[in-house]
């Protein structure tokens, strides 16, 4: 099949409807930010704390889950041999 006959996936963005949608979304985002700025900035400290907790739980690759640190290999060099 020829590339010229296949529609591109990015054509909707450059169409008239796509540009209108992008303009509408930009205007809506502007008004949402300006009208609700106090709510957003008031919740920011709590969102930062939540981000810290979520990064600790999911950012360690399973460290904090049930079972603790089972994936680590501990050396026995600190123990005396019998």
| CB 46, CB 40: distance < 8 Å | no
Residue bearing the bigger pLDDT, 27 or 70: 27
Residue bearing the bigger pLDDT, 40 or 24: 24
**Residue 46 confidence (pLDDT):** 93
Residue bearing the bigger pLDDT, 78 or 19: 19
Q: In angstroms, rounded to a whole number, what is the distance separating the alpha carbons of residues 53 and 47?
A: 10
**Residue 30 confidence (pLDDT):** 95
What HEC string does 16-65 produce? HHHHHHHHHHHHHHHHHHHHCHHHHHHHHHHHHHHHHHHHHHHCCCCCCC
């Amino acid at each position: 099949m020829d590339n010229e006959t296949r529609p591109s996936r990015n054509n909707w963005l450059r169409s008239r409807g796509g540009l209108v949608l992008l303009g509408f979304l930009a205007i809506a985002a502007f008004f949402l930010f300006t009208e609700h700025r106090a709510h957003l900035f008031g919740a920011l400290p709590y969102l930062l704390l939540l981000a810290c907790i979520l990064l600790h739980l999911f950012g360690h690759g399973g460290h904090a889950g049930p079972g603790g640190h089972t994936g680590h290999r501990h050396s026995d060099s600190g123990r005396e041999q019998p």
